[in-house]
Amino acid sequence: MTDSPALAAAPSVAVIVVAAGSGSRLGHVEPKAFVLLQMRPLLDRALDSIFAMREAVQVIVVAPIDRLMDARRIAASVSARHEAPDTTTPPPPSPAATSTSIAAPPSRTVTIIEGGRTRQDSVDRGMSALMPSIDIVLVHDAARALTPAVLCDEVVAAVRSTGHGIIPGLPLVDTIKRIAHSGAILGTVDRSELSAVQTPQGFPRSMLADAHARAAQNGRLEAHTDDAALVADAGLPVSVIAGHPLAFKITTPEDLERAEAILHAATASPTPAWHLPRIGTGLDVHSFATDATTELWLAGLYWPGERGLSGHSDGDVVAHAICDAILGAAGLGDIGSVFGTADPRFTDAHGEIFLTETVRLVAAAGYLIGNVSVQIIGNRPRFSPRRGEAETLLAGILLAPVNIAATTTDALGFTGRGEGVAATATALLYPAPRAGRSVGQPAAPAPLPEPGQTPDLNWEA
């Protein structure tokens, strides 16, 4: 990042990313912002554009309460792709909800906060987390995942030059008819007076705060579908600037297919070697502990009543095999060389710690995890009743699909004799797009720790 005075100063612009909407119209059970678009959540792609803005910004992600950790991991992954920092800038305390601050580049402060029951309630909560230095607020939909950074910059510039609300919009190309409930045509609307508005919508902070306060006082906060309508209802000026075709909202399966086609066309040129996917494999084995009180942790889950596995950490063979597979695919070594067994910080450490740091390392190296497949080999515990639980947990950590299978060896070998458990894993990585290089071209590999040193573990914070 550039160490210019503008970037070093406290940000004057904030972007509230609304990511609390459902994905029902997309046909998904998960919230819309966490639906995958070419192996990356919509929120990931939306944040990518915001992180590419020209100036320092405070980023506030408003997410469902049960997806706050997922939002945090997504933001951390995007931050790593845009050059991870050495320090964390804490956000101001938020009275609205539980919030989590994560490490971000020097020009970015990222806050994850719980959303509200409605969109306007979520925006209200996001505004409660604004830093004192903020004087311009952009409100953006995570579902507009392909919005280019230049549009965000243009909205900020227009707010500064006019001193009032700015929204991007596109002219309508279809003929618009007014119709009755019966379907009868009542007339033709002059489309020259209409615009299909988009986000981000930008406002002076005081203007947006005043409009929200008035609407809440008059009981009209939930009567408007966007912030521009809320501000206009308060009698405050809002202007439209030229929008961008890529800032469309992904709402239906057809919208998702359109976004997939756009991204596919952008990468359909002849594929250089550095653009190809990379595959890694991992293997880990641990014997059962001699101490009957040792807890069993497997696939990130605690297994009550089962004897645990021996090891410097918690002995989670699934987590360790996955780390080996991911690190190997990225060319970053293996779990032993990256983490080591002599570090006291890893004593009894759970697999989630290793997985989270591995995700950060491969993101810093310029890769995204496509999917992971794991095979557990052992007589116990009986894994099938908790397979779905384990896959969901690990997929949330890796931000990628995870499939786990379990088998025995028909009483053959050490696993067949019940002496321990083994796991193998295969991981597929994709080069991640990043500002400043061609799509898919990986960054310089993240440096491995020198002998005697340990990784930069953001989980310690």
164 is in an annotated binding site: no
407 is in an annotated binding site: yes
Task: Assess contact for 354 and 320: CB atoms under 8 A.
Answer: yes
Can you read off the two tokens belonging to residue 323?
A: 């780390």
Q: Which of 45, 71, 58 is nearest to 127 (CA)?
A: 58
417 is in an annotated binding site: yes
414 is in an annotated binding site: yes
408 is in an annotated binding site: yes
185 is in an annotated binding site: no
Question: Which amino acid is located at 284 in the chain?
Answer: D
The bridge status of strand 136-141 relative to strand 13-18 is parallel
285 is in an annotated binding site: yes
335 is in an annotated binding site: yes
278 is in an annotated binding site: no
Q: How would you label 118-142 residue by residue, b for 16+ Cβ within 10 Å and e otherwise? A: ebbbbbbbbbbbbbeebebbbbbbb
The bridge status of strand 57-63 relative to strand 13-18 is parallel
The sign of the torsion formed by the CA atoms of 249, 252, 255, 261 equals: positive
The DSSP secondary-structure symbol of 81 reads: H
**413: alpha, beta or left? (left if phi > 0; alpha if psi -120 to 50):** left
310 is in an annotated binding site: no
Distances 115 to 5, 121, 195, 215 between C-alpha atoms, Å: 33, 7, 29, 19
313 is in an annotated binding site: yes
**Helices and strands (H, E) in the chain, number of each type:** 13, 19
Q: What is the DSSP string of 221-275?
A: GGG-SSHHHHHHHTT--EEEEE--GGG----SHHHHHHHHHHHHHHT-S---GGG
334 is in an annotated binding site: yes
224 is in an annotated binding site: no
The DSSP secondary-structure symbol of 458 reads: G
Residue that the structure tokens 């903020």 belong to = 134
Q: Which residues are annotated as a binding site?
A: 284-286, 312-313, 320, 334-336, 407-410, 414, 417
Q: Which residues are annotated as a binding site for a divalent metal cation?
A: 284, 286, 320
